[in-house]
Structure 1
């Protein structure tokens, strides 16, 4: 009972956090668009942050913006994105627009002197990423702050997980992200090519990011990549599901399987193959390390291999668990297995495991709240937790996505016309 009470209390506080008294000099954030991600991405996290005020919003439909502002207690509604960006009272912009609009409106916000928290994926392709993240606006001692919002990376779970092994020892990684069919309609912006849609540009971006983080390097080769196309009548340039195998410089292999319209997996497949699939709905990744061998003085051997399974690495504030499985084999002088031992440990990390300067948090903080803390610290010139998504990281992320699309035979997502007109 105590476990359930603590779980529900922590989860409730995540979604209904205490409202902090705002400090003088708090950052005033404007939201571009009335996106569904905005409440959890910025509005709720900002409530508990004493240095953040969500002050304004603008949307293509002014009536939608007004309704959004009323629902979430946002005081200012601008008629256009340009009006919001030009507002001198706004310090920062949160950009959750469709992927294909990220480049244009982020550049405009930066040129207006605003710091930007940019939803992932940062832009449509690597060409846009290089143009954006290497822009002259970021040169100099008082450069603006731009962050690609890979929120899961800021949570103590992910950062603690990466300390459990050495990247050079990783042999295999498998990432499975799936969402049951019907959550997003097939005409959703996620599946429109002109808006840089596709599963790899949504759930797939997390899979790509996570394997890059685990190997701490870029892939040496894409061994294979395939996709399940959208059904007839929908955008054939978009992937409904994506599957890829990457080879890394240390000889390790990563497999990703990502599906935004998962079906089947039940008894009587002839009847149930099109039913939305609930099984495997928690994003899960598995990491297998290379076995290590110790020889004893009598010539026998002991082989040890570890495997880590991270359940719900993308949304650990709701629920997560790390399974640490260890297999130990004892071999006799002839090399035969004389004994096998299997051990398993479980780990959960909702806050920083050790007190460290700059690392602030609460067990109920969401990934987005930890991310917002890091963003504010960077804007304010403070060290913070030390977790960040560096510009080159965002560029390499898009390079890997582009290369994966090419391998599948699908086109790279289209480049914004603003690339040539906005400097």
Structure 2
């Protein structure tokens, strides 16, 4: 009963979080600011003024603009969240940075690795006191994910399997995520999560994309994939698999699961008789890794074997199983602020604000080279699949000394 009550309380507060008193000089930001005392919702922009005004009214946002540029031209705005179609991410992120705005950029940060290199290696980001730029890989910031990673022995991994599935009605026909020219495609959107998870768990970049089997969307959007099965090879022969499906049956629940199988390794045990050895293999899984604040479960299975060294016969086998739920950093024995009702987005916002304010860094971050490496991994998969890479933005910002000197 207590776990049911905890589930209800946690998700009610996540939906309607308590609003702390705002600090005297908060960062003026967007809708994610509701439960953070150091951030204030200030403005929203849309190409149609009536849509911007309706959104602002619904969410009690004081200002509504009818152009994205108006947001960037407002000197009172410190930071912007960019959730536009992926093909516009590069253009508006670089424009915002040139205006001195901190940027929280919806994933995928860019549509391909060439764009990622242009954005994340821009001279604008190398200047003193450059704005903060973060790709919003929100699940990376969850206590549950950090705890799960702490259980992994990177070098002794054998295989990792990641699954991300959505029922077909989540991304309906006509959605921009299906349009090739707008940076559409399941691997680039839904697929970026399980592929990023593979990189994090392996602690390494893939050496090659071994196979990539896709099912394209029907014409006229057949240059974008609706489902994918992709396999990567990592250093030491470790294998990472991802199953991505944005067209699962309507009865399928959103599914975000990962399982890790380690190699069997030998343990030192001085209590064993001569000629006997002790071995172990760890298997891990996490259910609902993407939105684990709603609910999740981490399973740890350690298999042990006593083996005769002369004939390699198994003399004894046993298994130790544990399950864990980690809703706060305190649950993971980590000294970081968090509340049970904080979503992955709220945990992400905490770290973003800390960077903007120049506070002590926690180590939880998606750095610039990380985002570039992620884009390269997705490019590898598209190239293996036979589909073309999403087209690179033609926008180029003329960077003057004025831009660099502020």
TM-score (norm. length: structure 2): 0.94
Matches within 5 A, 1:182-197: 182-197=169-184
Q: Are residues 1:239 and 2:225 paired?
A: yes
The partner residue of 1:299 within 251, 275, 281 is: 275
Aligned partner of residue 198 in structure 1, secondary structure: coil
Displacement over 4 Å in runs of 4+: 354-357
Name the residue aligned to 1:283. Answer: 256
Deviations 1:349-383 (A, max 9, x none): 111136666x2111111110010000000000011
| Backbone CA RMSD of aligned residues | 1.5
Name the residue aligned to 1:412. Answer: 389
Name the residue aligned to 1:20. Answer: 20
Q: Distance in 1 between matches of 2:236 and 2:295?
A: 32
Q: Distance in 1 between matches of 2:231 and 2:334?
A: 37
Name the residue aligned to 1:314. Answer: 290
What's the CA shift for 1:384? 4.0
Matches within 5 A, 1:21-100: 21-30=21-30, 43=31, 45-100=32-87
Q: Distance in 2 between matches of 1:90 and 1:365?
A: 25
What's the CA shift for 1:164? 1.1
Name the residue aligned to 2:244. Answer: 258
Size of the aligned set, in residue pairs, is 394
Q: Distance in 2 between matches of 1:422 and 1:164?
A: 47
Q: Distance in 2 between matches of 1:29 and 1:148?
A: 16
| Contact 1:330–1:339 (8 Å) recurs in 2 | yes
Name the residue aligned to 1:327. Answer: 303
Q: Distance in 1 between matches of 2:251 and 2:391?
A: 31
Deviations 1:312-333 (A, max 9, x none): 1100100011100122223335
Name the residue aligned to 1:35. Answer: none
Change (3 A) 1:223 1:277: farther
Q: Distance in 2 between matches of 1:48 and 1:298?
A: 61
| Contact 1:178–1:260 (8 Å) recurs in 2 | yes
Unaligned runs of 5+ in 2: 400-406
What's the CA shift for 1:294? 3.9
Name the residue aligned to 1:37. Answer: none
What's the CA shift for 1:160? 1.4
Name the residue aligned to 2:119. Answer: 132
| Contact 1:186–1:234 (8 Å) recurs in 2 | no
| Contact 2:159–2:262 (8 Å) recurs in 1 | yes
Q: Distance in 1 between matches of 2:277 and 2:149?
A: 29
| Contact 2:95–2:397 (8 Å) recurs in 1 | no
| Contact 1:187–1:234 (8 Å) recurs in 2 | no
Change (3 A) 1:115 1:421: closer
| Contact 1:107–1:422 (8 Å) recurs in 2 | no
| Contact 1:177–1:207 (8 Å) recurs in 2 | yes
Q: Distance in 1 between matches of 2:186 and 2:230?
A: 12
What's the CA shift for 1:303? 2.2
Aligned partner of residue 177 in structure 1, secondary structure: strand
Change (3 A) 1:48 1:421: closer
Q: Distance in 1 between matches of 2:117 and 2:391?
A: 15
Aligned partner of residue 334 in structure 1, secondary structure: coil
| Contact 1:331–1:339 (8 Å) recurs in 2 | yes
| Contact 1:173–1:253 (8 Å) recurs in 2 | yes
What's the CA shift for 1:421? 4.8
| Contact 2:300–2:321 (8 Å) recurs in 1 | yes
Aligned partner of residue 174 in structure 1, secondary structure: strand
Name the residue aligned to 1:366. Answer: 343
Aligned partner of residue 355 in structure 2, secondary structure: helix
Q: Distance in 2 between matches of 1:398 and 1:386?
A: 21
What's the CA shift for 1:337? 2.4
Matches within 5 A, 1:137-156: 137-156=124-143
Aligned partner of residue 190 in structure 1, secondary structure: helix
Q: Distance in 2 between matches of 1:188 and 1:288?
A: 37
Aligned partner of residue 287 in structure 1, secondary structure: strand
Q: Distance in 2 between matches of 1:314 and 1:129?
A: 23
| Contact 2:208–2:380 (8 Å) recurs in 1 | no
